[in-house]
Amino acid sequence: MPRDFYFTPPHTAFVLANAAAICSSASLLGGPVAKARVHRLIDDMSLAPPLTSRLKRELGALEELLSLEKVQDFDSVEAERFALIDPSDPVVEDICLLLDGLRHARAQTADIPA
């Protein structure tokens, strides 16, 4: 079956539609290194390649960052940056919404036959 070049997978559509918020959240939670990693991911996804193992790994890393997986490691950049965020700051809700949206989009993508 030929590839449908007009179809944008849900994970790609979500990331590209929320690119600015994702970059901002990555910068807030992981600093310049995380922001640069997310920029590379967005650049790669804008080319609309198939979901490669590298893109899956990068999406997993983004999900890990947004879900605060590393904040328990007190020596990590993520823990240091997370400690600076006021829990009542509206950005906390924005990050939660981004995480929920990313998880939903990835689940929808997994349901699409290859």
Q: What pLDDT tens digit does each residue of the chain (114 aa) get?
A: 445 556 788 999 999 999 999 999 999 999 999 999 999 999 998 886 678 889 999 999 999 999 999 888 889 999 999 999 999 999 999 999 999 999 999 999 887 765
pLDDT of residue 2: 47
Joined together, the tokens standing for residue 58 give 């990068």
pLDDT of residue 114: 58
Give the closest residue to 78 by CA, choosing from 59, 94, 62: 62
The pTM of the whole model exceeds 0.85: yes
pLDDT of residue 7: 76
Residue 2 gets which letter from DSSP? -
Contact call for residues 45 and 54 (beta carbons, < 8 A): no
Measured between alpha carbons, how far is 31 from 44 in angstroms, rounded to an integer? Answer: 20
Measured between alpha carbons, how far is 31 from 7 in angstroms, rounded to an integer? Answer: 33
Give the closest residue to 107 by CA, choosing from 41, 58, 42, 63: 63
